[in-house]
């Protein structure tokens, strides 16, 4: 698993502790999962290969799947997500 700089910045700016706890649980889920199909709330982004999003309340976690490596790229509010990701 890889954490991109943009994801780390987005996480740092997030103030909601409840969402942060949910993100920590999702990261642990991703690490223990053998494939993305085992994860809940994962959807492929249409028109982009290897781009996925996970819904966390009003936030979206954008990730790439690149040769068995999951890269967490963005964590944004749903209104901003598709402007900056993919």
Tens of pLDDT along 22-56? Answer: 999 999 999 998 888 888 889 999 999 999 999 99
Domains of the chain: 2-84 (3.30.2310.20)
The DSSP H or E segment spanning 77 is strand 69-77
Tens of pLDDT along 64-83? Answer: 998 889 999 999 999 999 89
- So what's the pLDDT on residue 17? 94
Cα–Cα dist 79/59, whole Å? 9
The DSSP H or E segment spanning 8 is helix 5-13
Closest-CA residue to 45 (of 61, 24, 29): 61
Kindly report the pTM of this predicted structure.
Answer: 0.89
């Amino acid at each position: 698993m890889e954490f991109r700089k943009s994801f780390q910045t987005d996480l740092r700016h997030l103030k909601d502790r409840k969402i942060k706890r949910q993100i920590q649980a999702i990261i642990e889920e991703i690490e223990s999962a053998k494939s993305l199909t085992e994860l809940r709330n994962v959807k492929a982004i249409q028109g982009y290969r290897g781009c996925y999003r996970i819904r966390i309340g009003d936030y979206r976690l954008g990730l790439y799947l690149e040769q068995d490596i999951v890269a967490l790229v963005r964590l944004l509010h749903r209104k901003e997500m598709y402007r900056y990701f993919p």
